[in-house]
Structures are given as structure tokens and as C-alpha cells.
A and B are shown apart, each in its own frame.
Chain A
Amino acid sequence: MKKEPRSSAHRIADWLLDRYVATSYREEFLGDLEESYEDRKASRGKLVADVLYLFDTVHLIYGFSYTNSNYPTRHTMFTGNMLRIAWRNAIRQKQFTILNLLGLTIGIATCLAIGLYVYDETTFDTFHPNGERIYRVNQPMIWGDWNTQFAATGPGVAEALREDVPEFEQVTRIYNPGEITVRIPGKDAAQFMESEFFWADQNVFSVFVFPFLKGDPATALHDPNSLVITERTSRKYFGANDALGKVVEIKVNDSTYIPYTVKGVMADIPLKSHLQFDMLGSLNTIPLMKTGSSTWIWTIFATYGLVKEGADITALREKIQALPPKWAPATTERVFNQKFDAYLAGKKWTLYLEPLCDIYLASSPSWHRFGPSGNRQFVIIFSVVGTLVLALSCINFMNLSTARASNRAKEVGVRKVLGSDKRLLVWQFIAESTLYVLAATIMAMLVVQLSLNAFNVLADKHLDLLSQLRDPWFVGVLLIFVLALGALAGSYPAFYLSAFKPAETLKGKVRSGFKRSGIRNGLVVFQFTVSIALIICTFFVQRQLAYTSTMNVGIAKDHVLQLHYMDQLGDNVEVLKNQLSDNPAFTNVGLSYTTPPNVWEGDRYKAEGPDKPVVDLGYLRADEQYLPLLGVEFVAGRNFDPTNAADKHKIILNEEAVRILGWGTREQWMNDSPLGKHVVQAFGKEEKLEVIGVVKDFNFNSMKEKIGPLLVMHRDNNLHWSYHSGPLYLSARLNPAVVQNSDEMQNIIDKVQKLVKAINPSVVFQYSFMDEEYDNSFRTERRMGAVLNIFTLLAVAIACLGLFGLAAFAAEQRLKELGIRKVMGANVRELVFLFSSEFTRLVLIAIVLAMPIAWLLTDRWLSNFAFHTPIEVWVFVVAAVSALVIAGLTISYQAIAAARTNPVETLRNE
């Protein structure tokens, strides 16, 4: 048919159509329209048809819009409209939009960072193909508290398991000797200190699967003097050359080096492994393994078992309990000359099976010698904090959205009148909040990506967001998270708003029912309760950290320079010691075999005489200058006397040791002094050790623990089995008058290094400061404290954002009320007070709620420490006051602005 020129009515109709009817309808719609137009033109003339065309269009649009939601394409018209409305709303109320997005972004970023951290911490050791069949065998801490699990066993445990328990496919042992010296044979042999050198049974790679780059994992550790190294180590020693077949030498003592041949190069150990080693030597190289392999008290081996598929672990746990009574007696009888039962004295030698993936986060045993161990407590704390911060920001979002609802009540009314049903409105609001969450999530990911480096440094982790993004699971979880959070955060406003009755909202009634929203106030109270509780907890964490770093440990730990591994110098260490003693920069110089706070060695002793209890004493071997250098106070007797040759076989005890040896406390010494009495090794054949002095208790371990009993032995006591073995430390107290700044300090250290190198150029020079070592024992707590600070700050910031938004909203709502009050004679101060009091009341309720919660949490955390800061009331007061002040400042901006508005402005526009 001929195309007729279109009238203006046509054009308007087409324009309406373009705007309101989706493309998939258009054909049918226009067809019907045109046909009825043609019919009408034929029957009633062109003019009537033209006029009625527009009318038809309008009611047809209505006809097409009112269909059921099952109709697939029907939403498109509304979706476009919704997006537009959402965008307009966002633009119109910039302040709210920014507050909303900011709060959500902070919340999601925090949660994301914590999520990455928690995911990282909880997925250690999950890369081994047989991981779920690998168990570590633990036993009681037989040298101390039998109730705690110990991650190491004697080598005999593995032998017994192999012999008696066929359910184990493989049982392997790993032994970490501590730092050792490695050199490449040659003229100018370079030496390296390797702290990640372990020995392992030849079957270690049948239990743990670490990919090999060169060599055969099945045979690499078969022969004595074999070595497997990581790629990184291979580069360090041999550069680009093929390491396979090369030889390195490992130091046994001053004059003896044992050659090892590289039989395998493996890929670097993944970071998320609780076993971290660079070099793995064949365990059968060690001569002691041949003679002492069946012993049960050489507790330095980690024993891992790979159980057969389908093995019943519960039954297996039961079964292995038969091993200690069967195998251990040989050891106790030989070493302690005690029957097994007498040795146990009622305690139980339990063997525990700990699943591989539990090892990293296990709280008992809380550490092992082979790599990093996590802290389940931190993971829980961070998870809780992350969830809370996220909850806070969701609450913000919900609160602000509902607060804004009154502004949108009319929109809802109009939509309802136009035939939008409740479901569609709910959908609209949820979709809108999902869009917000999506935008906030994208921004949060940016924020996290940008700040992840700093977070990694702070938390000592290697988190990576980008690599996670390649994981479909992570992306899936993130998407679900966006949708769920969008639905959750949008649900309250959605159902709240969509339930409005159009007749009322259009009349403007909605505001009255809106001011006293109990839920909204409840949410604000919740936010502030969490924030205040966090403030208080953080406060105590900081107090505890400060307390421990300033605590009097009983010795002067500042200004002590410690040179490590001075046993490398052999007897020449005395030369160095004399040189340093002559230097005015040092006031004292002493030698010792361990240094506080890391005095971990101990042995079993008893007081001489019949029926004396056997006790575990920590021991420290040091020369006569070391105790004065520490500034230890003698409460009885004297220090070692260098002029008295017999003194080197005598000992000094601390008060705690005297007490548990059964010689009483200080008051009782008046009548019965411990001096001159003898201590003997519980079951050994060694000399009696005469007590010549008693020192006051000092913290020779971390301040987390109570001060234990300590025995100080002379370093030259050649009758003790540990004579001249182990790493030797040379400690020197700096003279603060001479060494005043870090430059001078560095000078001194350089000078000392030169002296050391002059004696023996191949020595590895390593040093530390004693106070730093003490601080380091609180490193994890310090980290947690720093991270917690940040999260608390964020939580408070989010709560304030929310409060600010609500106050702004309330100010807007109450402008007229305030205006009228002002006209009636109220002054600004009264109005500000009136306005603030409502919010202040909420904060006060939150304070009341937060106090007991914070007290309980703090009390529980502090009870982990043997020495802890008291729970003081003033901290609670400070936290409460600061919360009030912060909230007050947040509100007052709005309050003052509202109160100062000229009533003419607000009342006029009626």
C-alpha cells in the first residue's frame, strides 16, 4: 500500500511508542494500531481516525504494559526505566550516594582483604595429591607438660609404626638441625648459613609430592650423602649450571665437613606449605641414626604417615596406642634406668594422628620446627571482625536507603497507580541495591588491589587478588556475594517501600509513620555497640603490647649486641672477646650458648639425696661475664669466679629452680641455705653440681610464659654432655654514652665485623639486639594489634558515615519543625541539643551494651598471657567518651546547620 504522509498525531504516537514499547512488541502493536486506524478511516473519515489514533496508542500502551510477569520480554520496558530512575536518584542526592558507596566500599574492601587472608590461612598444605591421607604423628611433651601435644617424636616411633601398623602405606621422618654451615668445595670456599636444611628419610617423596625438575624423587635420597635442593638454592649455589651431581660440604664441627651430592632439584616449595625447606639431606647419612634410630626420647623428628586408602582412622588411632608400652620401655630402661611405668608415673604416652591440613592452624601443638604455623585464634578474630565490618556497612546501606524512602514514596505511589505490582517494586529496589553493591564491589577490589602490598607487609602474608580472579570459584563466590548482599541490603527498603499504600503516599502521609523506625534505631545501636566494643578491645591489645615491651623482665635487655654462631671462630672467640672488652664502646662482653628470651633447652635434674623429686630445669651455659652483663641480681651466693678453676663445674640457680628442687623460698634460706648443696642429673652418671649462687627470677623466655626454673652452668663445664656444642653467642653491652645514635651504632657494628673477618674471613657474620629479640616474641600479637587498629578505625568510620547520613536525613525531615520552634523562641543551642539528644541516646544505649561484651572478650584474650595488663575502668570510660564525642561531632555538623537555618527559608515554601 501507498505510504501516506504522517500527521503530527502519528509522529507523537510513534515517539511515545519508541519510549514505552519494547522492540519485540512493536510489530504486533503497530500492526493492530494501523489496522484499526485504517478501519476507522474507512468508516468515519480521516480526521476522526487521526484523533483516535493517539487515543488508541495510549490505551494500547496501557494494554501492552499490563501483562503478567511470566511474559518474558515484558520487563525490558521497566528495566530501562528503573535504571534511569536509579541513576537520577543517585545524581539528585549526591551526598547520600557518596555516603552509601563509601560505606559499602570500605565494608566490602575490608571483608575482601580479610576473606583473602582467611582463605590463605585455611588452605595450607592442600596441594598434596594424597593430602587427605597424610597424618603427622604427635606425642605428649615428655620433657615438660605431658598434657600438651608435641609435634616431634623420637625416631623409634616411625620404626614402630612401620613394623606394627600395616595400615600405613609409608612412614617418613624429617629432622631440622637448625642453622648449619654449607660451603662449596674449592679454594676460596664460600660459606652459607642455611636455616632451611632438613634431613629426611628416603621415602619422604612418596608421602609428600613436590614436583622435581631434575632427578628422580623415588631414589634421590636413597644413598647416604645425597641431597635434594630447591630451584632457588640451585641458583644460589650453582647459578645457571646444572646442579645435578654437584657436591656441597656441610659442616659437622670446626674441622670436619661432610660432602653431599645433589641428586635432585625440585621446584621451590609453595608458600602455603607448613614444611619449608631449601635443602633436604638423606637421613641415613647421620651416624647417630645407625645406633640410635630406635630411641623414643630423641624427640626432634617430625613423623608423617601416609595411611592406606579406606583405612579406618578411628580404629587406627586406637591401635597405635599399643606402640609406646611395647617399644618405649627399651629406651627408658637404657637411658633413665627406669621401668616404663615408673617413668610415666601415671601419665599417658599417647600417640596422636593430626591430619596434614590441620597442622598449620592447630592450636596444639602450636608450633613445629619445619616452617610457618598459623594462629587459629587470629583467623577467628579476623573472620568475626570482617563479618562485623561488612554487617556494619550493610546496615548503613539499609538505613540510608530506608531513610531516603520518604523521598521516593511518591515514586512508589505513582508506579503502583500505573499498575506496577508489589513484586515488581521489590524487584526494582533489590536490583537497584544490587547495582550499588556491584559498583561498591568493583571499587573495593580496586582499593584492595592498591592496598594489598601494605596489608601483606603488615600481616606478613603473600596475598594476591589478581591470581584469585582467575579462579572461577572465587569469581563465582564473588558474584553470589554481590547478589546476596544486594538482595540482603536491598530487602528491607524494598519490602518496606513496596508496602506503601499509594493513596497515602501520594497524599504525603508517609512521613509521619516514618520517624520512629524502631528497626532503624536498633541498627544504629548495633553499629555503635560493635564499634565501641572494638575500640575497647583494641585499646587493651595495645595496652598489653605496650605493657610487655616496657615490662621489667628482670634483666637489662637494652643495648645488648649479640653476635651469632661465634662457635665458627673456635677457640679464637676468646681473642675477639678480649678485643671487644678493650673497646670503650662496650662495658661488658660475655659468652653464652643461648640468649634470652630463647632459652629453650632443658634437662631433668633432682636435688642430691634420696626421695627427691625429679624436675625439669631450663639451662643456660655461659661464662662468668654473662650474668653481670645481663644485670641479673644475685639474691644469695656469688657468680663464677674466673680465678677459681673449680668454679667451672659449679652451678647457679634461679629462685624458681631452688623452690621446685625442694629447697624452699628465700625466707627459709636463713636456716637452710641452698648454697653448697648439690644438684644431680636425674638419671645420669655425671658429676654432682654444687650450687654457688642464686639469682632473682628473670624472664628468660617470652613474657607470654611464667618464669620457669633455670640452671646456669659454666660454658667450660667439660663434664656436661653438651660441652662446647651448639651455637655460641657473644654478647656485648654497648656503652650508651659512647654510642649515641644509629650512625655510631652502625660504625661499631662494622668495626666488630672487621675484627671477626680478621680472625676468620669465612665466618658468616650475623647479629641481633636482645631487646629486639624480646619484642620479636610478640611479633604475631603486634601484627594482630596493628591490623586490628585499622579494622577498628574502619568500623568506627563506617558507623560515623551511617550516623552522618541519618542525621542529614533527619535534619532535612525536621527543618520545618526546627523552623517553627525557632519562630516560637528557641535558640540555636537548644535546637542543637534537642536534635542531638535523640542520637546521643542511641549511642548511650550502645555504650551500655558494649561494655560487658568488651570486658568478656578482653578478659578472655588477656588470660592467654602469664603477665598481663590489668583491666582498668578508665579505658572503658575513655572509649565511651570518645564514642560520644565522635558521634557528637558527626551529628553536630548537621544539627548546627539545621538549627541555624533561617526559619523564613524553611517555612516559606508552603
Chain B
Amino acid sequence: MGNKTIGEFEELVLLAVCILEGNAYGITVKNEVEKHSNRSILLGAVHITLYRLQDKGLLKSELAGASAKRGDRRKRLFRVTRKGMEYLRAAQEVRQKMWGLIPRLSTNA
């Protein structure tokens, strides 16, 4: 876990938190990821990832924003940290750099 890079699912969750900007918590993140990736994921898995990212210092959170739908309970709202943004950018740069290196025609050697 000491690795400086982040996993694919982590990246998706992190991106979802960025998109949701201020309204990112377990369920919205789950929905957002499901919406873009077209796959069904477990709420528990989202929570694990959110907490893990928070421990890595890529996310921060606070309890706020109770709604009637939740039975007047507050939710843990996540926000991306500067470090989180750096990680995201780094991940994107790596991809772009590598994309750029792919020859136009794939070789089957």
C-alpha cells in the first residue's frame, strides 16, 4: 500500500469525487461510478475505497448535510485533496505519455 500510484478502481472513485464536487458520499459516488463505467458495484467496496483513499491522504471528509431521505442522518462528504489531484494528474500523464508512444499500426510480433 506504500505505492505512490493508485489502482484503477481507486482512480474511478477519485474521479467521481471530483465530479460530484461537494456532494460526494458513499451512494452518490457509487452511482456516479456505475453511471460512467456501466458496471454494478457494491456500496461496501466504495466505502472501503473511500476510506483507504482518505488514509492515503488523497481525500478528506466531514460529516454534514442531513437529508430526509436518510432519516435525518448526516453523511460523510468527501473532497479531493491537493495530493489527490496530483495523483490523478500523474496517473493521467502516465497514460497519455504511453498512448503517445503507441505506433499507429499495432504489430503482432
A interface with B by C-beta (< 8 Å): 1, 27-28, 30-32, 34-36, 38-39, 56, 59-64, 66-68, 70-71
Nearest residue in B to A59 (C-beta to C-beta)? B44
**Which of B30, B54, B71 is the most central at the interface, judged by chain A CB atoms within 10 Å of its CB?**
B71
Nearest residue in B to A55 (C-beta to C-beta)? B42
B43/A56 in contact, CB under 8 A: yes
Measured between beta carbons, the chain A residues less than 8 angstroms from B84 are none
Give the docked Cα–Cα distance between A39 and B43 (Å): 13
Give the docked Cα–Cα distance between A68 and B70 (Å): 26
Give the docked Cα–Cα distance between A66 and B50 (Å): 11
Give the docked Cα–Cα distance between A68 and B55 (Å): 6
Measured between beta carbons, the chain B residues less than 8 angstroms from A59 are 42-45
Nearest residue in A to B31 (C-beta to C-beta)? A39
Which residues of B, 23-82, contact A by the 8 Å Cβ criterion? 25-27, 30, 42-48, 51-52, 54-55, 63, 66-71, 73-76
A28/B51 in contact, CB under 8 A: no
Given A28-B63, A31-B71, A68-B55: 6 more A-B contacts, CB < 8 Å: A27-B73, A28-B74, A31-B73, A60-B47, A62-B48, A63-B43
A66/B43 in contact, CB under 8 A: no
Give the docked Cα–Cα distance between A517 and B45 (Å): 42
Give the docked Cα–Cα distance between A61 and B43 (Å): 10
Measured between beta carbons, the chain B residues less than 8 angstroms from A67 are 48, 51-52, 55
Nearest residue in B to A61 (C-beta to C-beta)? B44
Give the docked Cα–Cα distance between A591 and B54 (Å): 95
A27/B43 in contact, CB under 8 A: no
Q: List 14 A-B contacts (CB under 8 A).
A: A1-B69, A27-B73, A31-B74, A32-B47, A34-B69, A59-B43, A60-B43, A60-B44, A64-B44, A64-B51, A67-B48, A67-B51, A68-B51, A68-B55
Leading 9 A-B pairs by shortest Cβ distance? A63-B44, A31-B73, A63-B47, A59-B44, A68-B55, A31-B70, A67-B51, A32-B26, A28-B76
B48/A66 in contact, CB under 8 A: yes
Measured between beta carbons, the chain B residues less than 8 angstroms from A68 are 1, 51-52, 55
B75/A30 in contact, CB under 8 A: no
Q: Which of A1, A32, A34, A63 meets B48, CB within 8 Å?
A: A63
Give the docked Cα–Cα distance between A61 and B30 (Å): 16
B27/A32 in contact, CB under 8 A: yes
A32/B71 in contact, CB under 8 A: no
B52/A35 in contact, CB under 8 A: no
Within the complex, the shortest CB–CB distance from A294 to chain B, in Å, comes to 80
A34/B42 in contact, CB under 8 A: no
Give the docked Cα–Cα distance between A68 and B59 (Å): 14
Give the docked Cα–Cα distance between A492 and B61 (Å): 39
Question: Given A35-B27, A68-B51, do A63 and B46 touch, yes or no (CB 8 Å)?
Answer: yes
A30/B73 in contact, CB under 8 A: yes
Question: Given A38-B69, A60-B44, do A71 and B27 touch, yes or no (CB 8 Å)?
Answer: no
Give the docked Cα–Cα distance between A266 and B42 (Å): 82
A36/B52 in contact, CB under 8 A: no
Within the complex, the shortest CB–CB distance from B63 to chain A, in Å, comes to 6
Within the complex, the shortest CB–CB distance from B4 to chain A, in Å, comes to 16
Within the complex, the shortest CB–CB distance from B28 to chain A, in Å, comes to 9
Give the docked Cα–Cα distance between A64 and B42 (Å): 13
A28/B73 in contact, CB under 8 A: yes
Measured between beta carbons, the chain B residues less than 8 angstroms from A1 are 68-69, 71
Nearest residue in A to B49 (C-beta to C-beta)? A63
B interface with A by C-beta (< 8 Å): 1, 25-27, 30, 42-48, 51-52, 54-55, 63, 66-71, 73-76
B75/A31 in contact, CB under 8 A: yes
**Which of B46, B66, B68, B69 is the most central at the interface, judged by chain A CB atoms within 10 Å of its CB?**
B69
B44/A62 in contact, CB under 8 A: yes
Nearest residue in B to A31 (C-beta to C-beta)? B73
Within the complex, the shortest CB–CB distance from B57 to chain A, in Å, comes to 10
Measured between beta carbons, the chain B residues less than 8 angstroms from A64 are 44, 47, 51
A71/B51 in contact, CB under 8 A: yes
Q: Which of B25, B52, B71, B74 meets A34, CB within 8 Å?
A: B71
Give the docked Cα–Cα distance between A61 and B48 (Å): 10
Question: Given A1-B68, A39-B27, A67-B48, do A32 and B55 touch, yes or no (CB 8 Å)?
Answer: no
**Which of A1, A34, A59, A63 is the most central at the interface, judged by chain B CB atoms within 10 Å of its CB?**
A63
Q: Which of B46, B47, B51, B63 meets A27, CB within 8 Å?
A: B63
Measured between beta carbons, the chain A residues less than 8 angstroms from B68 are 1
Nearest residue in B to A62 (C-beta to C-beta)? B44
Within the complex, the shortest CB–CB distance from A862 to chain B, in Å, comes to 61
Measured between beta carbons, the chain A residues less than 8 angstroms from B54 are 71
Q: Which of B1, B45, B47, B70 meets A35, CB within 8 Å?
A: B70
Measured between beta carbons, the chain A residues less than 8 angstroms from B52 are 67-68
Measured between beta carbons, the chain A residues less than 8 angstroms from B47 are 32, 60, 63-64
Q: Which of A36, A38, A39, A70 meets B55, CB within 8 Å?
A: A70
Give the docked Cα–Cα distance between A442 and B16 (Å): 55
Give the docked Cα–Cα distance between A38 and B73 (Å): 14
Measured between beta carbons, the chain A residues less than 8 angstroms from B55 are 67-68, 70-71
Measured between beta carbons, the chain B residues less than 8 angstroms from A70 are 55
Give the docked Cα–Cα distance between A66 and B52 (Å): 9
Measured between beta carbons, the chain B residues less than 8 angstroms from A35 are 27, 67, 69-70, 75
Give the docked Cα–Cα distance between A1 and B47 (Å): 26
Measured between beta carbons, the chain B residues less than 8 angstroms from A30 are 70-71, 73
Nearest residue in A to B68 (C-beta to C-beta)? A1
Nearest residue in B to A30 (C-beta to C-beta)? B73
Give the docked Cα–Cα distance between A71 and B1 (Å): 15
B75/A32 in contact, CB under 8 A: yes
Measured between beta carbons, the chain A residues less than 8 angstroms from B25 are 32
Measured between beta carbons, the chain A residues less than 8 angstroms from B75 are 28, 31-32, 35
Question: Given A28-B76, A32-B25, A36-B27, do A63 and B45 touch, yes or no (CB 8 Å)?
Answer: yes
Give the docked Cα–Cα distance between A64 and B51 (Å): 8
Give the docked Cα–Cα distance between A61 and B46 (Å): 12
Give the docked Cα–Cα distance between A56 and B45 (Å): 11
Give the docked Cα–Cα distance between A64 and B52 (Å): 11
Give the docked Cα–Cα distance between A68 and B75 (Å): 20
Measured between beta carbons, the chain A residues less than 8 angstroms from B69 are 1, 34-35, 38
Give the docked Cα–Cα distance between A31 and B27 (Å): 10
Measured between beta carbons, the chain B residues less than 8 angstroms from A27 are 63, 73-74
Give the docked Cα–Cα distance between A36 and B30 (Å): 10
Give the docked Cα–Cα distance between A27 and B66 (Å): 10
Within the complex, the shortest CB–CB distance from B99 to chain A, in Å, comes to 33
Nearest residue in B to A419 (C-beta to C-beta)? B48
Measured between beta carbons, the chain A residues less than 8 angstroms from B73 are 27-28, 30-31, 34
Measured between beta carbons, the chain B residues less than 8 angstroms from A56 are 43-44
Within the complex, the shortest CB–CB distance from A39 to chain B, in Å, comes to 7
Measured between beta carbons, the chain B residues less than 8 angstroms from A39 are 27
Give the docked Cα–Cα distance between A116 and B98 (Å): 71
Measured between beta carbons, the chain B residues less than 8 angstroms from A61 are 44
Within the complex, the shortest CB–CB distance from B71 to chain A, in Å, comes to 5
Give the docked Cα–Cα distance between A36 and B75 (Å): 13
Measured between beta carbons, the chain B residues less than 8 angstroms from A31 are 66, 70-71, 73-75
Within the complex, the shortest CB–CB distance from B31 to chain A, in Å, comes to 9
Within the complex, the shortest CB–CB distance from A67 to chain B, in Å, comes to 4
Measured between beta carbons, the chain A residues less than 8 angstroms from B70 are 30-32, 34-35
Give the docked Cα–Cα distance between A59 and B25 (Å): 17
Give the docked Cα–Cα distance between A772 and B30 (Å): 92
Within the complex, the shortest CB–CB distance from A423 to chain B, in Å, comes to 12
Give the docked Cα–Cα distance between A67 and B46 (Å): 12
Nearest residue in B to A68 (C-beta to C-beta)? B55
Nearest residue in B to A32 (C-beta to C-beta)? B26
Within the complex, the shortest CB–CB distance from B29 to chain A, in Å, comes to 10
Within the complex, the shortest CB–CB distance from B1 to chain A, in Å, comes to 8
Nearest residue in B to A74 (C-beta to C-beta)? B51
Within the complex, the shortest CB–CB distance from B33 to chain A, in Å, comes to 14
Within the complex, the shortest CB–CB distance from A492 to chain B, in Å, comes to 27
Nearest residue in A to B65 (C-beta to C-beta)? A31
Measured between beta carbons, the chain B residues less than 8 angstroms from A63 are 42-48
Give the docked Cα–Cα distance between A32 and B47 (Å): 10
**Which of A32, A56, A60 is the most central at the interface, judged by chain B CB atoms within 10 Å of its CB?**
A32
Nearest residue in B to A33 (C-beta to C-beta)? B43
